[in-house]
Amino acid sequence: METRIGVIGGSGVYQIDGLDGAEWVEVDSPFGAPSDAILTGRLGGVEMAFLPRHGRGHVHSPSSVPYRANIDALKRLGVTDVISVSACGSFREEMAPGDFVIVDQFIDRTFAREKSFFGPGLVAHVSVAHPTCPRLGAACAEAARDAGVTVHEGGTYLAMEGPQFSSLAESRLYREVWGCDVIGMTNMPEAKLAREAELCYASVAMITDYDSWHPEHGSVDISDIIATLTGNADKARALVARLPELLGPERAPCPHGCDRALDFAVLTAPEARDPAMVEKLGAVAGRVL
């Protein structure tokens, strides 16, 4: 099987450079229009697909990002491995602005988003006990180190609805009581949907600030965030440039089973499945349907 790397770029990361045969392509999805066209090409001999999560020009808020359409579109392009790159705040002194965190756990506090491809007429339950792919996360960590980035392997990401930043009370709750490490607005339901689509998913959280808990930093300053975003975006592009060599052009089955997440997930009996839902999920779940 051929590797095809999909990169979902967050705030500040709206393109990747150096692709051979670079082309922006429109992908139709039964879940609506994706955030933008998808930049395709080859990098280091490996197929790549880049999707700006917020759209070029940053037109989507965290709540309006069409998460289902984005994951469905990447699956339709043959993507095997998805790397999420996103800005976040830090709850840990040692996780400083400019550092990257390879997230391995989430607490989902979003409430205004469609969180599953499945539903009435075609019911399925996947496990997200371990919502990211360790193999892919390890490759991202190595790529970050090669790019000269201070990287922390492992961390819990609090996904909030936004678009406002946290209150001081919320920030303290997430840090001191819940034990979260970083906070952001976009990795959920993205990670859940990637699992339903049987895609390996890794989350690279780029720290821009200390949220509001830090006594020496106080409230989040958007001007400081934007300044840090610029530097982080350059680091993110350097990380992505290393991935084709680390992952290689040939793709073996995922040792952690990400690409087989639907093996026992669909509960609706074949004769009871809604034909319209079956057709709609052709890309996401066609392997098991």
For 124-136, the pLDDT digits (tens) are: 999 999 999 999 9
> Can you read off the two tokens belonging to residue 135?
């193999």
pLDDT score of 16? 78
Summary mean pLDDT of the chain: 94
pLDDT score of 211? 87
Residues that are catalytic: 209, 211
pLDDT score of 219? 58
pLDDT score of 23? 95
CATH topology of domain 4-285: Rossmann fold (3.40.50)
pLDDT score of 217? 61
pLDDT score of 222? 64
How much is the pTM?
0.95
Show me where the domains of the chain are located: 4-285
